Amino acid sequence: MPNKLSQHPYYSKSFDFESICIRYFKLKTSSLKKACMVSRYNLFELCRPLCKRCWIHLKLQRGRHTIYQCNTLNQISYHGERNLKMPISKVNMVVDPQKNMERDYDQALIHLAWNWDKSVSEGFLIFGMVELFPKGIALPSETAPIYENLGNYSIGLQRFQVSADEAIKWYKDCRQGLALELKCNNPRKYKLASLSEEPAWPNLTTVIESDLQTVPFLADWHCCPRLHHLIPIQDEFTNSLWNPKQKDKALKWLSDHLFFNFKDYPELLGSIHLIAPNPIFRDVDIKGIPSQNKENFESALLNFYLWPSQTVKNLKLTVRDIRPTGAVNIRTFDLSSPKLKIDFGHEIYKMDISVTCPHRGVLFWDKPMTFIRSIRSNISIRGATRKIILEDENKGSSAEYETDLIHPVGSSTIGSNQPLPPALKVIIASQKMRQRRSEATRLDQHLFRDQTNEAEGFVKGIIRPAKKRVLIVDPYFTTLHELIRFGLAPHDPSVLVQILTSAKGFKLLAHEQHIQDSSSENQNRYFKRLLNLLRLSKDKFGPKEFAKIFDQFCREFSGQTRAETNKIAIKVMTGKKPDAHDRFLAVDNQVWLIGSSLNKLGRRLTAAIRFPDPGPVRNTLETLWKESEELQKWIEGGERADGETKQMD
């Protein structure tokens, strides 16, 4: 091969071809039907036509060098990497749906909710919705305004019948910051929040068919409506309307009358929306047709339910045939009939469709879906009732409950019992397994058994990257060992470490006869000092002296200077039983649930998981922290539980 290569008329000695092989490319330009040298193991791109001079650009990964062949130079030469301008073809994605709105819609409803400030006689628009109706659809009637009194404020709700042109003009005015009362001789101007539009006008977004809950104010008949949103970008507007009590009452009233909860959708408070339902068809029915032969060729039947006087002319249907590892086929058809049968040539795993119009944009789309091939039902009958009685000898009382006994009698299957192809079954099972593991990783799920070091490393790994605050809630977090291991773990010494423990835990510690968590004479000495302090009365040591000694513990035991030691705050859940039983670890905005106390972490079977929605948990922990007593005050005053003073030994 090297000898033949060196004899080639386009050979250039300026390039080392010892590791180069010859590939022949059948090119359209006859003058370029020559040998092109490329690396057999460093090839990045085989062949790319460039500009009108018919360059062939071959780019090698190693060394970032390039070989060029040109029909005018009549040779192959080696060059350093060059910047050559490639021709760019342009495609316009912009569709203006407004151009067809006058033809598609003739009537509309405008839904308004406002807050009226009685002291200044000024209205604040807190929700607005323009709902267009396709031609031929009966329009619901107007409603009289309804009100809810909030003291110096009142909130109102009303819907208005207007023409589609009036509704669109009103919405466009809102985009410019002007919202006027409707059907008034002297309309007043509503005050608006600072609004930002989504998407950029005049584009509209089409809601996916199977996920209408992402936009909670839609009606069932809308079927993939096209939307435009004006969303508030500042919370000051809504926060300034009411005090907390008024806000709770207002949001509950609005949620009851608008049929969605503003607490779940806070971004909608003060928002305005344009709804343009599908003007061509109201729904698409998609049914799977089972195979009628041994080849297992399945089909799908699509039925478009058109609005009156509408056709599918000019509509394009895109169908994706999807397998577990990718798409088999993506085809686009011109619709000529509201009914269409699609043959797939194999069993259908998943498919999705989208319908587009060159003048209106996307009219329908949906997530990939599967067909239900069979339904299995198990039949059981209810038999006797079991009665369980629980007696509490200490309290001298009992409790009871009943449970029904169920006996299975059979099962039935409707549809096909034909199993999935073996390869498909294996791939699906493996993918589900990986999805479960991925979800466990996302939720930071861990399980430890006889893994003290691993469990301790896991908790420290959570605490170290803290930016502002660490809150440890553990009823038995009462030893200095735990404090040093976890309380001083953050990388940032400015991070506040808060520890919420319990009186019960400290009492157990104070009554211990032996120090079990000591690994050195120095550590044992500090534990004894802490125990002695807990045993002393307030006459000998006050809270300030305790704080000084505790601060000395933190600095001396950890070997850190005062400037490098995190600020630590400790509170105690008083009472005979602590309000918290489980262990929680809150780091900044994230919260973990840990199964065992940190003083025995990982010794026995211990689980840990991060809450996917930490907000409610974090708020409850904040309340518990505020209700608890500072450690110094608890030591100084002792603990009172069940009306009796519990003095420390």
Instruction: Give the confidence band of 507 by pLDDT, cuts at 50, 70, 90.
Output: low
Q: Is residue 435 part of a domain?
A: no
Residue 348: other Cβ atoms inside 10 A: 25
Q: Is residue 131 part of a domain?
A: yes
The Cα–Cα gap between 223 and 282 comes to: 6
CA distances from 81 to 60, 64, 484 (A): 9, 6, 58
Averaged pLDDT for residues 77-97: 63
The Cα–Cα gap between 373 and 361 comes to: 33
CATH number of the CATH domain containing 353 = 2.60.40.10
Q: Is residue 379 part of a domain?
A: yes
Do 589 and 529 fall within a single domain?
Answer: yes
The Cα–Cα gap between 403 and 384 comes to: 9
Lowest mean pLDDT segment, chosen from 79-83, 321-325, 393-397: 79-83
DSSP string, 189-220: EEB---EEEES-TT--EE--GGGGGGSTT--G
Q: Closest by alpha carbon to 620, among 450, 500, 497?
A: 500
Do 169 and 215 fall within a single domain?
Answer: yes
| 38 in Cβ contact with 23 (< 8 Å) | yes
Q: Is residue 411 part of a domain?
A: no
Do 39 and 188 fall within a single domain?
Answer: no
Mean per-residue pLDDT of the chain: 77
Given a cut of 70, whether residue 584 has pLDDT beyond it is yes
Which residue carries 């959570």 as its tokens? 462
Do 390 and 534 fall within a single domain?
Answer: no
The Cα–Cα gap between 259 and 268 comes to: 13
Residue-level pLDDT at 209: 67
CA distances from 130 to 160, 271, 356 (A): 10, 11, 23
Do 190 and 321 fall within a single domain?
Answer: no
Q: Is residue 195 part of a domain?
A: yes
Note down the domain range covering 401.
375-406
Residue at a domain's end among 276, 302, 321: 276
Farthest CA pair distance, the chain: 108
Lowest mean pLDDT segment, chosen from 38-52, 85-99, 423-437: 38-52
The Cα–Cα gap between 330 and 8 comes to: 45
Do 63 and 104 fall within a single domain?
Answer: no
Spatial CB neighbours of 92, under 8 Å, sequence gap ≥ 6: none
Amino acid at 431: Q
Given a cut of 80, whether residue 204 has pLDDT beyond it is yes
Residue-level pLDDT at 141: 92
Residue at a domain's end among 218, 248, 276: 276
Q: Closest by alpha carbon to 71, among 117, 32, 116?
A: 32
Q: What percent of the chain is modeled with pLDDT above 90?
A: 40
Lowest mean pLDDT segment, chosen from 290-294, 306-310, 317-321: 290-294
| 593 in Cβ contact with 644 (< 8 Å) | no
Q: Which two tokens stand for residue 138?
A: 């009966």
Do 291 and 213 fall within a single domain?
Answer: no
Q: Is residue 566 part of a domain?
A: yes
Which residue carries 């590892």 as its tokens? 325
The Cα–Cα gap between 310 and 305 comes to: 10
Interior CA angle at 304 toward 205 and 337, to 5°? 115
Give the chain's domain count. Answer: 5
Spatial CB neighbours of 239, under 8 Å, sequence gap ≥ 6: none
Residue-level pLDDT at 563: 56
Given a cut of 80, whether residue 14 has pLDDT beyond it is no
Instruction: Give the confidence band of 47 by pLDDT, cuts at 50, 70, 90.
Output: very low
Q: Closest by alpha carbon to 130, among 170, 77, 101, 181?
A: 170
| 393 in Cβ contact with 406 (< 8 Å) | no
Residue-level pLDDT at 77: 39
Dihedral angle, C-alpha 312, 313, 315, 319, nearest 10 °: 70
| 499 in Cβ contact with 584 (< 8 Å) | no
| 372 in Cβ contact with 292 (< 8 Å) | no
Residue-level pLDDT at 95: 82
Q: Among the ranges 28-32, 571-575, 645-649, which has the highest mean pLDDT value?
A: 571-575
Interior CA angle at 63 toward 58 and 69, to 5°? 25
Do 270 and 322 fall within a single domain?
Answer: no
| Sheet containing strand 316-323, strands side by side | 326-334, 316-323, 350-357, 361-365
Q: Is residue 228 part of a domain?
A: yes
Lowest mean pLDDT segment, chosen from 344-348, 459-463, 644-648: 644-648
Q: Where are the beta strands (DSSP E) in 74-145?
A: 75-80, 105-117, 122-134
At 214-253, the pLDDT tens digits run 899 998 888 889 999 999 987 666 677 888 889 899 999 9
Which residue carries 């262990």 as its tokens? 583
The Cα–Cα gap between 58 and 37 comes to: 9
Report phi then psi at 78, rounded to 5.
-105, 135
Q: Which two tokens stand for residue 571?
A: 């509170």
Do 488 and 382 fall within a single domain?
Answer: no
Residue 84: other Cβ atoms inside 10 A: 13
The Cα–Cα gap between 486 and 457 comes to: 10
Instruction: Give the confidence band of 44 by pLDDT, cuts at 50, 70, 90.
Output: very low
| 269 in Cβ contact with 238 (< 8 Å) | yes
Residue-level pLDDT at 549: 55
At 463-505, the pLDDT tens digits run 999 999 999 998 887 666 677 778 778 988 889 989 898 877 6
Do 360 and 379 fall within a single domain?
Answer: no
Q: Which helix (H) or strand (E) holds 301?
A: strand 299-306
The Cα–Cα gap between 226 and 101 comes to: 12
End-to-end alpha carbon distance in the chain: 95
Q: Is residue 428 part of a domain?
A: no
Residue 333: other Cβ atoms inside 10 A: 12
pLDDT, greater one: 505 or 330:
330
Q: Where are the beta strands (DSSP E) in 135-280?
A: 146-149, 153-163, 179-180, 189-190, 195-198, 205-206, 226-232, 271-276
Do 250 and 358 fall within a single domain?
Answer: no
Do 509 and 484 fall within a single domain?
Answer: yes
